[in-house]
Amino acid sequence: MKTAFLLPLFASLLTAQTGPVVPELASFDQAISRLIAKYQIPGAALSIAKDGRLVYARGFGLADRETHEPAQPDSLFRIASVSKPLTAIGVLKLVEDGKVTLDTRVLSFIGRRATADPRWNDITVRHLLQHSGGLDIEFWEFDPSFPDRATLEALGANLPPSRGDVLRFVLENLPLAFAPGTAYAYSNVGYMFLTEVIEKASGQAYETYMREKIFAPLGIARMRVAGSLLTERLPGEVRYWDKGRVDAPIFPGLPAAVEMPYGTFNIRIWESGGGWLATMPDLVRFLTAFDGTANPLLRPETVRLIAQRPTFVPATATSWQGLGFAIDRTPAGERWSHDGAVQGTVAWMARGENGISLAIAANHLPDNEVLLAFFEEFQTSLANAALSVTRWPAGNTFATYFPGRAPRLADAGVVNAATVRQGPVAAGSIVRLFGLNLERGSVRVNGAIADTLWTDAGDPYVRVPLSARGPTQFQVDRDGQTSNVVTVAVEPAAPGLFTLSRNGYGQAAALNQDLSLNSPAGPAPAGSIVVLYGTGIDRPAVTVGGLPAEVLYSGPAPGLPAGISQLNLRLPTTLPAGDLPVLIRSGELGSLNGVTIAVR
């Protein structure tokens, strides 16, 4: 009976939509809702621009299946290979600045040497951008950018592998499939070389260069190179799902098997070819930079290079790989696009036809046997949705997501400071606010100034007033400008435990009985006392490893800011050794899964 009651509730969560309703574009709502249900995708976000104006930004379904956090219009997603055209523009900016040319030979420029095939020395920047360098994973029969643990251990390589490990391996061991510039073969490794081209030409780290020279001029501030582990999940980032599948990690210190999206590959080595986190408004803002003539990044003559046909492509072809973008010439016009896919995420962005630019991402990659059908269906569905529009909405909501110097809270930008996840918060607890331009701002809670306890990475941490109850409004004032309002439910208790990762996952911020830091290298004996720290806790019941733990003290943490609670626990004497889950229940609400302490 209870299951029958809950099924409609769960179905409604999966089809939940966030962001302003746009009646003229209801066809897109219907298309995405149908697709995520059909392909068992927890959540997605879609943004659309028409003639350079942002006219649609919505979230669908769940950002996190476990906590039922809704996906927001500005949720952060891994975008996988949609990173490649971003990098291509970074390279073209350096070409414009005279730091490198499209015909620069890559290996001599970055100071690397090939022994597997002399033709490696002929590869140019242009070849890598067009995937025509001869780096062919079908010829090699594997993709060196995705080494598994067994391969790495056989090679004696680092765990996790570095970019240098991968590039040295291919240069020393893998011949090219064809002479550079004579054919097409998609390559992730080619973009790993382009990371080094950008770093050598710019004199900056790749991520720093892209954020400062490409994204900042467009007002894009939240994009980052993603982390590979759950403990690196950022505020506002979705949680990736791969139907519970697990594999051996390529990172040391992890369990023998981990969820596929978290630790079975090293996103950091992909950087330029598959590493970015972005919101969908970020990607559409990037695409619309190339509409019209007022491009803040590149001159018109440089932009024209993007869609040039490679010399080996027949003159009759209507599709080819340009510089970073896939190019399609259709009766409706020229389209630039790129898709991306890796365990736990799928993304696509496109611009050009009929003045429409769009970006979409989801937190699940459909199974291989249906993946091709999925890509074809969702691109067709979006095209049909666009064709069904009889009147495009007026206005432009880019300023909502790119406020210049004004403060802006992310759409779900008020979270429990310990868990860093959406949901109710407690009166008297500490919350973290995240978004844009929040540093040195004044936080208002229901209109009254709240004391900022500290800031971290520009995000203010404040205490929720003890008097707050029910829907409570948060906003930020800065330099005479006021942010949007984010409303959060305030409850008597909403427990969360602080972790060493500072994002609510992994090792708890805990002390052993001798006041040493609890960790896998310094575990607590079963039956001993441990000290944990949290917020939003009231009269807790605690379990460790599924067994009740005796609460010796629960109250304010001496010497720490008000709102931080201290819990002194006596561990059960029968606990097994290992990293064991800790769960707290306060009233109607419990802490979230994913926090552990080490026991011996």
The angle subtended at Cα 344 by Cα 339 and Cα 348, nearest 5°, is 15
- Name the burial class of residue 51, with classes exposed (0-12), middle (13-18) and buried (19+) by CB atoms within 10 angstroms of its CB: middle
- Name the burial class of residue 329, with classes exposed (0-12), middle (13-18) and buried (19+) by CB atoms within 10 angstroms of its CB: middle
Coil/strand/helix, residue 444:
strand
Q: Which residue has the higher pLDDT, 12 or 401?
A: 401
What pLDDT is stored for residue 156 in this prediction? 74
Question: Which tens digits make up the pLDDT trace of 573-586?
Answer: 999 999 999 999 99
- First CA to last CA distance, the chain: 42
> What is each CA distance from 505 to 5, 54, 185, in whole angstroms?
31, 35, 39
Residues of the chain with pLDDT > 70, as a percent, come to: 97
Nearest CA to 254 out of 331, 149, 325 is that of 149
Kindly report the number of other CB atoms within 10 A of residue 219's CB atom: 17
What pLDDT is stored for residue 14 in this prediction? 56
Domain 497-599 has CATH 2.60.40: yes
Q: What is the DSSP letter of 213?
A: I
Residues 395/53, Cβ–Cβ less than 8 Å:
yes
> What is each CA distance from 3 to 8, 64, 68, 284, 333, in whole angstroms?
9, 21, 17, 41, 51
Neighbouring-strand partners of residue 491: 426
What pLDDT is stored for residue 15 in this prediction? 67
What pLDDT is stored for residue 5 in this prediction? 39
Residues 105/99, Cβ–Cβ less than 8 Å:
no
| Average pLDDT over the chain, rounded to an integer | 94
Q: 406-492 adopts what CATH topology? A: Immunoglobulin-like (2.60.40)
For the chain, percent helix, then strand, then coil, each to nearest 5? 25, 30, 45
What is the arithmetic mean of pLDDT over 501-521?
96
What pLDDT is stored for residue 291 in this prediction? 87
Question: Which tens digits make up the pLDDT trace of 539-564?
Answer: 999 999 999 999 999 999 999 999 99
Per-residue pLDDT at 203 exceeds 90:
yes
What is the arithmetic mean of pLDDT over 436-451?
96
What is the arithmetic mean of pLDDT over 252-264?
93
Residues 328/379, Cβ–Cβ less than 8 Å:
no
Q: Which residue has the higher pLDDT, 254 or 77?
A: 77
Half-sphere exposure of 411 (CA within 13 A, CB side): 24
Per-residue pLDDT at 205 exceeds 60:
yes
Residues 42/231, Cβ–Cβ less than 8 Å:
no
Q: Which residue has the higher pLDDT, 293 or 227?
A: 227
Coil/strand/helix, residue 296:
coil
- Name the burial class of residue 490, with classes exposed (0-12), middle (13-18) and buried (19+) by CB atoms within 10 angstroms of its CB: buried
What pLDDT is stored for residue 158 in this prediction? 78
What is the arithmetic mean of pLDDT over 66-73?
96
What pLDDT is stored for residue 353 in this prediction? 75
Structural tokens at position 197: 């081209």
Domain boundaries, the chain: 1-402, 406-492, 497-599
Alpha helices (runs of H) in 316-435, residue ranges in sequence order? 368-387, 398-401
d(C-alpha 277, C-alpha 2), whole Å:
39
Neighbouring-strand partners of residue 292: none
Domain 1-402 has CATH 3.90.950.20: no
Alpha helices (runs of H) in 355-486, residue ranges in sequence order? 368-387, 398-401
What pLDDT is stored for residue 10 in this prediction? 42
Per-residue pLDDT at 407 exceeds 70:
yes
What is the arithmetic mean of pLDDT over 199-219?
98
* pTM (predicted TM-score): 0.95
What pLDDT is stored for residue 354 in this prediction? 87
Domains 1-402 and 497-599 share a fold: no
Per-residue pLDDT at 6 exceeds 50:
no
Residues 187/137, Cβ–Cβ less than 8 Å:
yes
Find the range with the poorest average confidence among 71-80, 120-129, 345-354. 345-354
Which pLDDT band holds residue 333 (cuts at 50, 70, 90)? confident
